[in-house]
Amino acid sequence: PIQIPGNNWATYSLCYVTLATKTDGALWSWGFNHYGGLGHNNRTAYSSPVQVGSDTTWSTERYKMDVAYDGSNPIAIKTDGTLWTWGSGTYGKLGQNSNTYRSSPTQIPGTTWSKCSIGNHGAIASKTDGTLWAWGNGGFGALGLNQTGSTKVSSPTQIPGTTWTGNICR
């Protein structure tokens, strides 16, 4: 192991894309960037940490940041409760009502997001009011929206109920 310079890293998520926040709330990324998953508004791979923009309001709690196994879809929550995605838009998994790829963080509507997780083809997030939302590829009913087949939902859709609690998909 080789230490990454600095001693104020708060959290990380490792895959082909590595994301980390420092204790000051700055988001950093490095690694594979084929789909713009590093959030630097380009597709350049980086072998050292590079700050994502100049914003310092990213949540430093680990469960509030996740990355898909293929490194193409980071998802993160800021301290103001806003939810952000970027990278590959395949299957609508960026929650932006499209299949467009985005190489910099793009906000999903709303401001009361509390927890999030993203997988191979879809994402799930909860809000502070106890609601649970899903989007992306719903093959085999994976989105929990009572749909069968290979349903694709490109924007957050509420899963019935308002008493969802606890960590999701972590």
pLDDT value of position 22: 87
What integer pLDDT is reported at residue 103 of this predicted model?
93
Q: What is the mean pLDDT of residues 61-85?
A: 75
| Better pLDDT: 96 or 149 | 96
For residues 126-132, average pLDDT: 92
The answer, yes or no, to whether residue 19 has pLDDT greater than 60, is yes
Six token digits for residue 97 = 């009502």
The pLDDT > 70 percentage for the chain reads: 85
What percentage of the chain carries pLDDT values higher than 90? 33
- Given the structure tokens 């960037």, which residue do they identify? 33
3-state helix, strand, coil split of the chain in percent (to 5) is 5, 40, 55
Q: What is the pTM of this model?
A: 0.85
